[in-house]
Every structure is written in structure tokens, then in C-alpha cells.
Structure 1
């Protein structure tokens, strides 16, 4: 994509917010993760800002420390997507669902249902689950190794795409005079017989106005990048510097060309945690107050998980000890992209506290400043070819989402880089993606 094209923006709705202290923030509902209304309110604010989509993460397992902190995600994301698209008119909803857990027919049908019900506003964020606790909830024991999980993912995605294409857009005739509802020659079984799955098909619903859901992926490992470059329309990254962002975007686009895809149809969106204030000083004070509301033990636990080290080796005001790193990443349960972002900061000699301030516990870049400064930062990344846009992760949903809409977006619009009104009705249209292919 060229730097002249408008910036793409999603709003990542994570429980009470992306910061670990968000659930205790004044005015925020402590149990926001279990309130559909909180997601709907955030989605409505996001649509008021004319954003492309809301992003709905998921880990289908109860997090550690529930006695001290609420869950980050509780609902099935498809349930949230159904609620928010019913309460809005244009904004898309991206549903996270795993290829390691469950079956492709069930997932394809569930997300197709959201897509048809919303008039073509659904996307699927493909994840390859690395969390043993989640796998145990689905009976996947012993937990499969990474190479096996990615082999399953490759076939899983192919089966889902085949199911989504099992109805041709012209299959529905709806000819009441002739008594002909559909052309059965344009509704085809997929008859898939593979290493991991046997699926007959077809699906039970016709296509939506966008054809089928937008495919999103966030793999940073070689296997993850290969899957994303072959299949994804939108690729999330954990880039924390412009240089890293440019390298990642260039690599996945080169891989897309290898798969005979037009690299300009692949959008790259890094994650970005935002902490805004009316002045830079106010934003930094807000960050300090959020840190005061965080449980240091929980932050250390989550950072240790992301860094693939033992929590006992971490001290807030000391660097990560060189001897703490585990040489074998085969057992890495966290995202490899997030791991790479965190490990890069640790290798700079930053203290654990400094790492938490710059990348949180998950490896995404943290921006602290005013709405205007954030807009300038986004424009720099976009102009440098490091991002086609961002997956925005507000620190606190209740006031962080409205702040992004009201204090940052006007500056992007003034630069001519973000829409004032929607011109399309589907998520594929918002992202300026080509029409999907049906055989």
C-alpha cells in the first residue's frame, strides 16, 4: 500500500482496557469484561469516529490470579460481535478464534453467521493457540508442538475458506413466481479429506454482501508469517520501532508475492497501546496513576510469560538477568511477535519497570502523550511504510476510546489521512480490499 492511501484503524476492546490497572480506574466498571453494554458503548464511540472495525481478542481459559483481577476476556467474541454489529450500522467486528481448538465447520458457520447477520461486517482473526490451559479445555492433551499446531492451522484455514466459498453469490435465485429458491449447482460440498480434518460441507447460509469475512492474522514466527502471507487480508504486528515495522511489512509482502498475491492488497497494522492527556504532562500522570492501580505481582507474572522466563528472576528496578532466558522456544506459550518485541527491549538493558512502561506486559508499543502527538506519530509510521494503520489499544475503555475519537482523529482528518464519513457498508469495503474470488 502506498503512503498516500488513508490510514486504517481498529479499536481493540480488551475487557476494561489494555492497561492492567484499567479495571480499578475511577468511573470504569470493574466487571466490564462481563458486560455486553460496555463493548456496545465502546463500539458506538468507535463508529462515531468512523473507524474500520472493533477487534475482539480471546483466550478461552480462566486467567491466573482471578482472586485479584477480573478476566481479560470472558464472552465468546462472536457473541460480542453479534451484539455490537446489531447496535451499530457500519463498523466491522473482528472475531478471534483458534485453529488449535475446535473444528473448522463450527468456526466457519459461527463467523459466517455474524457476517450475514451484520450485512458483511465480520472478520476472523486467525490464532494458533499456544496456551496449554486453553488446549486442556478442549481435550487437546498432550499439548501439540508448535510445528503440529501450524500444520493444523494451514489445513484449518483452507477448510474454512472452502466452506465460505461453498455458496456462490449467484446461488440464491429467490424466484417466488417460478418457485425456485436456489441453484443447487452453485452450492457445492467441499468433500475435504485431509491430515487433520474430514469435512463434507457446504455451509448452511449464503454469502454476505462482502462475500465472506475478512481474514486477519498475527503470526510473527516464520510459520506464522508464511500463513499470514498466503491467506490473510490484514496482518497484525508487534513492531515497536519504525525500522522493525518496515522490515516486517517488507517481509510479509515479499512472501505474499511468493504466493502469487498482490502485495498491495495486504494491510499491516501494528498494535499500539494509547495513554492520552490534554497535555503530555497530564498523559504521563495518567500513566503513573494506572501503574499505581496495577498489581506488581500480576504485572511481573504476565511479563515473565511474555518473555519466557521464570517470574522469580524478575525485579522491577533491575534489568532482566542474562541467565534468565530459556534457550529453547519450543515451549513458548506467548505470541512469538510479542516475545520478540519484549526481548528486544530487555536486550537494551532496560529495567523491568522501564519495559513495562514502554511495552506493557504483552510487547505492544505504548504511546503516552496528547491526541495531536499521537496523530503525528501515526502519520510518521504510515509515511515511512512501517504501517498501513494501527490496532489501537486504549488504556481504559470507558474514557480512552472517546479520547481517541475526539482528541486524536481530528488531527488525522486535518492531514487528509482519515475519513470523515463512511463510503462503504462492509468491512472489506472499509479496508479497500478486492472482491473475494469464487469458483
Structure 2
């Protein structure tokens, strides 16, 4: 038995059933260990199963396959030594701050006097001394999250799991709370032995973690690991930290062999993994990259800062620009292709024509819709068969989202039209008139 091993996952897999009864693999063959004395950050795009993995470790949901152990004991339900902090604060609005913090202790059967003492101590530690009698509605977002953290820490957990705990806060508040947490950890002011953070913020992960684990998507598997030996506190403007941020951006935007092969069209696969972004954001980011000071090549972290959007919001747009042939991603940079530059310089009508051409060339689902329309006598097609086709591979809500993206892109590129009242696609009007 390894005394320093807190969490041990071996070959973990998890599936969920969609509303149509079909099973969808979320996680597959995940091997992961959390050791004493380390902070680990878990990064991955939408669909990588980050939060699902955290809930398996907390004992909130079971794995379908593999080993899940806490201190070498199998996890079959909630674990007393593991506490979790959620993005949504998850406070009971009718309870005071003090009562919210004491909940976990009350569930453990801790006497009232001891509960009060421990809650007072942790509220002071987290910077909320004097707020015990307040209700959640009287607090700012940052203070609410401090209550959520205090509620987790008051049970003296071995392991603290943080599920995008800072993402609902404004940038300054999130940074302050993050630094306060690191100070508590680095100065041994809390008893926690290991912290696992799920995040979509690359800068946050690099500043906080000793290791960064990057998951691939559909299903979630561990793609790679980045070890960080820099001492904390870390200056985000230092050359070493900036280089690490660029490295992680590069790894996040690099497509694995699995991901690339999954987009090759076949009789049963129509390239259905379309990025969740719209035309206006695609054009806005393309314009930013094309213009000064970038002039065709932009550093992704710098671009995210200027765009005032999160990495999670921007990654689908980068993917779309790459998919359509307007840009390439290289070592944490986005670079316009000659076609991307041509698109930027073009008049509106030519932009739409270029967009439509690239859509038909690189998005098999759009090309499939166009071919089906060309085969129909009246040039019209119900969306329902397309949804049913997508639902062979995707959950119903994801299939709907993908089709909506394909419709929006296709309408903009004048590849086909869509009637929102009837739910039918049709050939563009100018082609009907020929």
C-alpha cells in the first residue's frame, strides 16, 4: 500500500443513457492518481467528462468499469475524507452563512458547540469573520463562494475537489480567491492533503497546479500530462509562466489521431462533431487576428484577454476557423491562412460565397444536407430525419445543437435555407429561379 496515494483510478469507464435510451460513453480507460502534497488541475474541452470524473472520485456516482479507491479502499459512495466545491455555490438560501457551513458537520453528528467553534474558525480563516449571521442573498458572488469553500474545509477533508469553483466570478474576484486558497495551502493553514481542480481556465491551472492533466473528448481519456516545478506564488507575466501557458494552449488545441479520424466521413458518420460557435463570433475572432497588432498571427492567451472571453468560449471558435480552412493552430498561436486573409479582405457577398464553399468542402454534415436537398423533387427536406441520424451518435440535446450549428452556417453560406415555422430545409431561392 502506498501511504502517499490519496486517490487511485485504474481503467475507469463511465456511460450515461440518453433520453432515447441509447448509451453514450463519457469516460474510457482513465488511469489517474492524486498523491499527498500536490495540486492537480484537470483540463479538457466540452464533452471530455471532467465533472463526471470528479463526481466519481467524490463517490457521488459510480464508475461502470475499473478501480476507484481512496487511500487504497474502494469507493462505493460519498467519502468522509473528500469534500467538493461547486461552481454554482450550492448554498441553501434560507440558512445563514454559519448554518450553511455547519451542514456537513451536522451530518457527521458533530455536537452543536463544536460545530459552532469549527465554523467560526474556518470563516475567519477564509475571510468571512463577522458574516456568520448573514443570509446568502446579502453576499456578493465572491463571498458566496468563500462560504462554499468554508463549508468544504470545515470537515477537515483529506482531499478538496473544486469543480470550476472560480469560473462564476468576475476576473478580479476569482483571482483574489484563488490566491487566498493557495496561501492557505502553501502555508499549511488547512489540513487538506491534496487538491484536484477542474477548470476551463488555462492560466488558472498553470498558476495553481503542480501537474496539469489534459483530457481528450468523446469519450474522455487522458491525452497528456504537464508537470510544473515552478515555486508558488507564480508571476503570470514571467517568461517561465507565459511559456507554460503557451505550451498548454498548444496541447489543448492539438488534435489527437482519434479526434482527427472521427471527422472522416463515412456512410455512418457525417462529421457530426461541429464546434459550438456561431458565424458572428467566427468572424469577430478572424477580424481580430487579421488586424493590428496581430496582423495574421495571434498568441492565444493574449487574444483571449483582449476578447474578454473564456478559453471554453473561444476554443470552439478556433476549431471552427481551423475546420473551415481560414486559420491553423500552432504551439499556442492562431495563424490566418491565405484563404483566411482573403476572407478578411473580401466584400460581404464574396465572404458568404467563400464560407459556403469551405462549408461544403470541410463539413460533411452540411454537404450531406445539400446532396439530400438536390435529390428531392421539390428541393425541400424535413429536419427530423437529420436529427434521427445524428441521434445515432449523440444525445438528443447535443444532436439538436449540432444541427442548429449546421443550419446557421449553411444559411450564412447560402448553401441551403431553413424555415423555422415548418422545420424544413430547402434549396436557396436564387437556385430555384434558375
- TM-score by shorter chain over 0.5: no
TM class, shorter-chain normalised? 0.3 to 0.5
Q: Which structure has the higher relative contact order (CA within 8 Å, separation 6+)? A: 1
Structure (1 or 2) with the larger CA radius of gyration? 2
TM-score, normalised with respect to structure 2:
0.33
